[in-house]
């Protein structure tokens, strides 16, 4: 451990360069505390970095400050043989030094990752779709600007599952309004840029609710912001309708029964089964069957039977699915 209980080495892991950089800034700031950055921080980012020099910097006591923070960026570009100087240093690290290794450049050497687990910590920046809302809430709490409730919700809806898009937006807002500014929707709207992707279940929820305009908006965000191929989006719709088919039975009346039919393991949340059962009851058997035929026709069209673009095929499909949901809902 470094001085003050700080870890001797921290690996900031992840695949998204924006999230890695954002987490690294937080880690470095925490390790430096109130130390003078010009004296306490050594940041190695050049491609020709000599790891023997980095190790020597780690082993050098701090001058005029209490601690030294040594940062190595794109640590994944070094082979197992090249990281030998760092491994040697970490066998007996200097208590006053904290080494920070940032993901990037390839797969980080396993020995280096193992050393971090033994001598320090690994900070993961991977955020799956189910954790995106929690991540964004935490990131907003430590932002330099304060968004009110409506502004926070607008930002959340705008970035969707692409939470890394929030980082440059928040930095831009700080640059425009200054640290400590309190902002509403009208303040942030001009700086949001293009909308990001959304979670697949937000898309299918809109279809189940018969919200045609909303479903089409989310379709375009999946195709453009999410960079998904039309066949991938079709697969999302296939899985959704299949889940409705599984629970569409007089024998399935409860959430637990639906979860069993859908193969949800015991101990896991049964909420997806509850949603599927509710949606299947709203759609009705006849409309679920019709949806299956619509999906089959769209798949043939996407594979070349139609001269329409993939986007146009999906737009028509989504509009028809929403009409099915609306029709059943009016009779219910």
Query: Please, which pLDDT band fits residue 147 given cuts at 50, 70 and 90?
Result: very high
Q: Indicate the burial class of 220 (C-beta count within 10 angstroms; 0-12, 13-18, 19 or more).
A: middle
Q: Is the model's pLDDT at 193 over the cut of 90?
A: no
Q: What percent of the chain has pLDDT over 90?
A: 38
Position 174 scores a pLDDT of: 87
Question: Measured between alpha carbons, how far is 277 from 255 in angstroms, rounded to an integer?
Answer: 7
Position 332 scores a pLDDT of: 40
Q: What is the dihedral of CA 271, 277, 278, 279, to 10 degrees?
A: 110
3-state secondary structure of 66: coil
Question: Measured between alpha carbons, how far is 189 from 192 in angstroms, rounded to an integer?
Answer: 6
Quickly count: other Cβ atoms within 10 Å of residue 78's Cβ: 21
Where helices occur in the chain by DSSP H, the ranges are 17-32, 37-40, 51-59, 84-90, 110-119, 132-141, 149-159, 166-177, 185-188, 200-208, 212-220, 230-247, 255-261, 271-283, 285-300, 310-331
3-state secondary structure of 70: strand
- Name which residue leads in pLDDT, 268 or 255: 255
Q: Is the model's pLDDT at 330 over the cut of 60?
A: no
Question: CB within 8 A of 79, min separation 6: which ones?
Answer: 109
Q: Could you give the C-alpha distances from 231 to 25, 216, 237, 238, in angstroms and in order?
A: 38, 16, 10, 10
Evaluate whether the domain defined by 200-331 bears CATH number 3.40.50.11540.
no
Query: Looking at residues 300-326, what average pLDDT do you find?
Result: 88
Q: Give pLDDT tens digits for 14-73.
A: 888 889 988 998 999 999 988 888 889 999 875 668 899 999 999 999 888 888 999 999
* Stated pTM of the model: 0.60
Identify the CA nearest to 147 among candidates 186, 108, 109, 120. Answer: 186
Query: Please, which pLDDT band fits residue 98 given cuts at 50, 70 and 90?
Result: very high
Query: Looking at residues 133-146, what average pLDDT do you find?
Result: 90
Position 268 scores a pLDDT of: 77
Identify the CA nearest to 301 among candidates 231, 233, 207. Answer: 231
Question: Measured between alpha carbons, how far is 320 from 307 in angstroms, rounded to an integer?
Answer: 19
Question: Measured between alpha carbons, how far is 3 from 133 in angstroms, rounded to an integer?
Answer: 35
- Name which residue leads in pLDDT, 275 or 129: 275
Domain boundaries, the chain: 3-124, 129-191, 200-331
- Name which residue leads in pLDDT, 199 or 60: 60
Question: Measured between alpha carbons, how far is 59 from 147 in angstroms, rounded to an integer?
Answer: 43
The topology under which CATH files domain 3-124 is Rossmann fold (3.40.50)
Position 106 scores a pLDDT of: 86
Q: Is the model's pLDDT at 119 over the cut of 50?
A: yes
Query: Please, which pLDDT band fits residue 286 given cuts at 50, 70 and 90?
Result: very high
């Amino acid at each position: 451990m470094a001085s003050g209980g700080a870890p001797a080495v921290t690996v900031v892991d992840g695949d998204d360069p924006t999230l890695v950089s954002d987490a690294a800034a937080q880690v470095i700031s925490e390790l430096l505390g109130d130390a003078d950055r010009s004296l306490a921080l050594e940041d190695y980012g050049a491609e020709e970095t000599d790891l023997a020099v980095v190790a020597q910097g780690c082993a050098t006591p701090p001058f005029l400050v209490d601690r030294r923070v040594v940062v190595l960026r794109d640590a994944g570009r070094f082979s197992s043989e090249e990281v030998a100087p760092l491994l040697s240093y970490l066998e007996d690290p200097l208590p006053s030094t904290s080494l920070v290794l940032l993901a990037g450049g390839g797969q980080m050497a396993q020995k280096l990752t193992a050393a971090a687990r033994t001598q320090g910590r690994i900070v993961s920046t991977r955020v799956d779709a189910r954790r995106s809302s929690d991540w964004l809430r935490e990131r907003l709490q430590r932002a330099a600007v304060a968004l009110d409730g409506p502004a926070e919700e607008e930002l959340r809806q705008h970035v969707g599952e692409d939470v890394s898009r929030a980082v440059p937006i928040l930095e831009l807002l700080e640059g425009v309004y200054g640290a400590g500014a309190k902002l509403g929707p009208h303040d942030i709207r001009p700086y949001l840029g293009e909308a990001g992707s959304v979670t697949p279940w937000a898309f299918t929820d809109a279809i189940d609710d018969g919200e045609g305009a909303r479903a089409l908006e989310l379709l375009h965000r999946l195709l453009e912001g999410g960079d998904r191929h039309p066949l991938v989006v079709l697969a999302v719709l296939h899985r959704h309708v299949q889940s409705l088919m599984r629970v569409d039975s007089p024998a399935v009346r409860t959430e637990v029964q639906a979860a069993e039919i859908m193969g949800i393991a015991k101990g896991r949340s049964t909420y997806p089964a509850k949603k599927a059962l509710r949606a299947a009851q709203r759609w009705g058997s006849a409309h679920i069957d019709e949806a299956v035929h619509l999906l089959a026709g769209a798949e043939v069209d996407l594979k070349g039977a139609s001269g329409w673009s993939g986007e146009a095929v999906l737009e028509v499909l989504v509009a028809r699915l929403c009409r099915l949901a609306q029709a059943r809902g009016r009779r219910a």
